[in-house]
Amino acid sequence: MVAAKAIVVPELHAPFQLVEVELDSVQPHEVLVELKATSICATDPAVQHGKIPLDFPVVLGHEGAGVVKKIGSAVTDLAEGDHVVLSYNSCGKCRQCQKQNNFRCLEIMERNFGGQREDGSKTISWKGKPVSSSFFGQSSFCNPTVAHISSCIKVDKSLDLAVVCSLGCGIQTGAGSIFNVVKPAESDVRSLGVFGLGAVGCATVMAARIVAQNNPTVLSQIVAVDVNENRLKLARGLGATHTINPEKENVKAKLLEITGGENLDAAVDCSGVLSVVNTMIESIGAGGIAVTIGSPGNDSKASVPILPFITGAKTYCASHQGNANSKTFIPHLASLYKQGRLPIDRLQKTYRAENINEAIADMKSGSVIKPVLLWR
């Protein structure tokens, strides 16, 4: 057993608590990571409040970054001292994983939300009892942490781990929706709507700007939609050409004005609000694509007008983890950050790990987009 500090949710709706825990031994396909930083995603408090079912007590966290301290006997692509960003877990064996579509892994739910290893054991014990862990194969609200090799992505040691930790989920998800799903250059997408400007939405805007810079004939209109004026201002600085506040303007009418009556070529919903999802769907024009990222909940159903989709040959689809293979996509995003083209640090505010409840409150209020916990 290895002593560690972990941020535990002891029961449903309870505040996060920083406590002493013990780690199980590293198994063959795992590594021990000394974390430097873990950023917070909306999925973490979603589990805390029962929106995603997991047994309590639980150790969450799925956007960690740190230094490898020990490797399992079957690990061949990492060594002690390597710097890693932690991301989602996948089996690596199913048909989808074999095609490098790990985001479609047939075991994606149990690997990321099962609360345990594949063999049923737990990586973390608290007060002498195993607790739900292996969240996204990492549970990076624990330091050090035992992480599955599938969740570990090696990155350049020159990168600031307190910044690139955020690549593990939210930034990857937003950026991937553009690079891997919408693919503006391939589809001649000239107008894009981004609904919801949390970390995922801001990453979507940043990725769209990169595509527009590389391809001057596409994405001449990048429209950011949110009710928070500070976030709309930030989006303009990140690359949005137009912004809409639904509390002040009619979204559909304004989009028609911006696009000259053609509606959007593409739209991405990052809000997870059902009414916003429906607005997004209705806002795409002929040949357009609407992409769902945020989830309104298991029982929610979008309202899709069928005939306009047929006559306009439109597409409505979803994106998971940006439809990205993290092993190759996260190093690409890290390179873009290093070049100054993906300024994710502009979204972040750092906190001490013990101040996680304050960080989550700030994220919920909208005053901070991406809180980052520093392990000291």
For 296-318, give the secondary structure using H, E and C. Answer: CCCCCCCCCCHHHHHHCCCEEEE
Mean pLDDT of 231-253: 96
Domain that holds residue 117: 2-168+343-374
Q: Name the band, by pLDDT with cuts 50, 70 and 90, for residue 44.
A: very high
- Asked if pLDDT for residue 341 goes beyond 90, the answer is yes
Q: What is the mean pLDDT of the chain?
A: 95
Alpha-carbon torsion (14, 274, 177, 367), positive or negative: negative
Q: How many domains are there within the chain?
A: 2
Q: Is 185 inside any structural domain?
A: yes
Q: Is 329 inside any structural domain?
A: no
Could you give the CA distance from residue 194 to residue 225 in angstroms, rounded to a whole number?
6
Write down the pLDDT at residue 266.
97
- Asked if pLDDT for residue 226 goes beyond 80, the answer is yes
- Condensed to tens digits (0 to 9), the pLDDT of residues 301-337 reads 777 778 888 888 899 999 999 999 999 999 999 999 9
- Whether 102 and 208 share a structural domain: no
- Asked if pLDDT for residue 28 goes beyond 80, the answer is yes
- Condensed to tens digits (0 to 9), the pLDDT of residues 84-98 reads 999 999 999 999 999
Q: Is 325 inside any structural domain?
A: no
Mean pLDDT of 2-23: 97
Cα–Cα distance list, 264 to 5, 184, 223, 249, 254 (Å): 48, 12, 9, 17, 11
Specify the DSSP class assigned to residue 178: I
- Whether 14 and 151 share a structural domain: yes
Q: Name the band, by pLDDT with cuts 50, 70 and 90, for residue 155.
A: very high
- Phi and psi of 84, rounded to 5°? -135, 145
- Asked if pLDDT for residue 229 goes beyond 90, the answer is yes
- Whether 243 and 134 share a structural domain: no
Q: Is 328 inside any structural domain?
A: no
Q: Is 333 inside any structural domain?
A: no
Write down the pLDDT at residue 294.
81
CATH of the domain at 279: 3.40.50.720
- Asked if pLDDT for residue 164 goes beyond 80, the answer is yes
- Whether 33 and 112 share a structural domain: yes
- Phi and psi of 222, rounded to 5°? -115, 105
Q: Name the band, by pLDDT with cuts 50, 70 and 90, for residue 363.
A: very high
- Whether 193 and 144 share a structural domain: no
- Whether 16 and 139 share a structural domain: yes
pTM of the model: 0.95
- Whether 147 and 220 share a structural domain: no
Mean pLDDT of 298-303: 74
Mean pLDDT of 190-215: 96
Q: Is 330 inside any structural domain?
A: no
- Asked if pLDDT for residue 340 goes beyond 80, the answer is yes
Write down the pLDDT at residue 173.
97
- Asked if pLDDT for residue 272 goes beyond 90, the answer is no
Write down the pLDDT at residue 296.
76
- Asked if pLDDT for residue 242 goes beyond 80, the answer is yes
CATH of the domain at 9: 3.90.180.10
Beta-carbon contacts of residue 61 (< 8 Å; ≥ 6 apart): 7, 38, 44, 135, 138, 139, 140, 141, 142, 145
Rounded to 5°, the CA angle 128-134-139 comes to 90
Write down the pLDDT at residue 312.
86
Q: Is 157 inside any structural domain?
A: yes
More confident of the two residues 300 and 364: 364
User: Residue type for 246, please?
Assistant: P
- Whether 49 and 148 share a structural domain: yes
Write down the pLDDT at residue 220.
94
Mean pLDDT of 339-353: 97
- Condensed to tens digits (0 to 9), the pLDDT of residues 72-82 reads 999 999 999 99
| The pair of three-digit structure tokens given for residue 227, joined into one six-digit string | 């009710």
- Whether 213 and 358 share a structural domain: no
Q: Is 364 inside any structural domain?
A: yes
- Whether 21 and 157 share a structural domain: yes
Write down the pLDDT at residue 127.
95
- Whether 70 and 127 share a structural domain: yes
- Whether 195 and 246 share a structural domain: yes
